[in-house]
Structures are given as structure tokens and as C-alpha cells.
Amino acid sequence: MDAWGHLVQHREEIGWAALFGLLFALAFELLNPASHIRAKIRQWNNRWSEHSNYLIARRIEELEKYKKQLADVRWQYLFALQMVFLTLFSLCVGSASWVMAETALFRIHPSVVEAMQRFSSCCFGAGGGLALIGFTHTWRDTPEKVQAVVRKVGLEIEGLQKVLKARSTSSTE
């Protein structure tokens, strides 16, 4: 069978694989503090908050809280610990489902067994994905990279404070 015939025969599986590949790539990108997508979302939120003084003040508070969270080294370790617990939970649920699928009591119908095995395989895959996300997050995010993001957020806060100050001085005149 040639490559095109293989693609045509397995188009649904290839489509699902591509979809999940894109979802995992998006998850990896969003979990990185120096993410381009996160920066665009912050920029969009900053521009949206410029509609009123209240929204600007609230956005400044949110950014200061985010900056404080990033500056704290414990945040990285807490994130890694959360990934460990999520991985363990996912693997436990997958193992329990696998055991139930293999137990004679649950062998009611072959489709039930197949669904439980598929669910447990998904849980194992999710556990592996969470472990990989936690590993790459702690491996990639050096203190220098995190401090660079803290500086960017600080500059965004200063820009919003200038806009708020300019609005408050223009409204008092």
C-alpha cells in the first residue's frame, strides 16, 4: 500500500492525532511563563481594560498579583508539585478503570470492556502528558527567564499606570 492509500484508509485516526497534537502544543505553549500567546492575551486584556478607570485599576491589581506570584520561587515548585499530584491521580484512575475492565464482574458486554480500556488508556496518556508538562515547565523555566517575564509585566503595569494617571489628570482639569 502506498502512502496516499494509507492516509486515506486511516484519515480519521490521523485527524484525531493531529488535533491532540495541536492541543498538547497549545498546552505546552500556554504553560510557559514567557509564552507568546500569554503575552498577546495580557496585551489584549490591557487594551480592553483601557475603556474605564475602574477596569485599568483592576487590571493593574491583577498584574501586580501575577508579578508577585512569578517573582516567588515557591510558585515553580508548587506548580511542579501540582503536576505530580495530577499525574498520580490520573494514573490511579486509569489503573482502577483497567482493573475493573479486566475483572470478571464487569465483563457484561464487550463494548463496556472496550470503553473502560479506552478510558484507562486515556487516563494513562493524560498522566504521561501531565508529567511531561511538569517536567518541561521546571526544566525550561530558569530563574533568568522568569525574571525577564517579571520585568515585562512590570513594564505593562507602568504603562497602565501612566494611562490611568493621564486620564485622572485630564478629568480633573
- Do 79 and 25 have their domain in common? no
Please give the Cα distance from 173 to 162 (Å, whole number): 17
- Do 1 and 22 have their domain in common? yes
pLDDT band at 173 (very low <50, low <70, confident <90, very high): low
Task: Give the pLDDT confidence of 107-147 residue by residue, as tens digits.
Answer: 677 787 788 888 888 888 888 888 877 777 776 667 777 78
Share of residues in the chain with pLDDT > 70 (%): 91
- Do 120 and 139 have their domain in common? yes
- Do 139 and 56 have their domain in common? yes
- DSSP string for 111-139: HHHHHHHHHHHHHHHHHHHHHHHHHHHHH
- Do 71 and 98 have their domain in common? yes
- Do 166 and 100 have their domain in common? yes
For residues 77 and 70, is the Cβ–Cβ distance under 8 A? no
**Out of 10-19, 44-53, 114-123, least confident range:** 44-53
42: containing domain: 33-172
- Do 41 and 67 have their domain in common? yes
SS3 at position 34: coil
Q: How many structural domains does the chain have? A: 2
- The answer to whether residue 153 scores a pLDDT higher than 70 is yes
Grid cell for residue 86:
495530577
Question: What pTM does this model have?
Answer: 0.51
- Do 47 and 112 have their domain in common? yes
Burial of residue 60 (number of CB atoms within 10 Å: 0-12, 13-18, 19+): buried
- Do 55 and 123 have their domain in common? yes
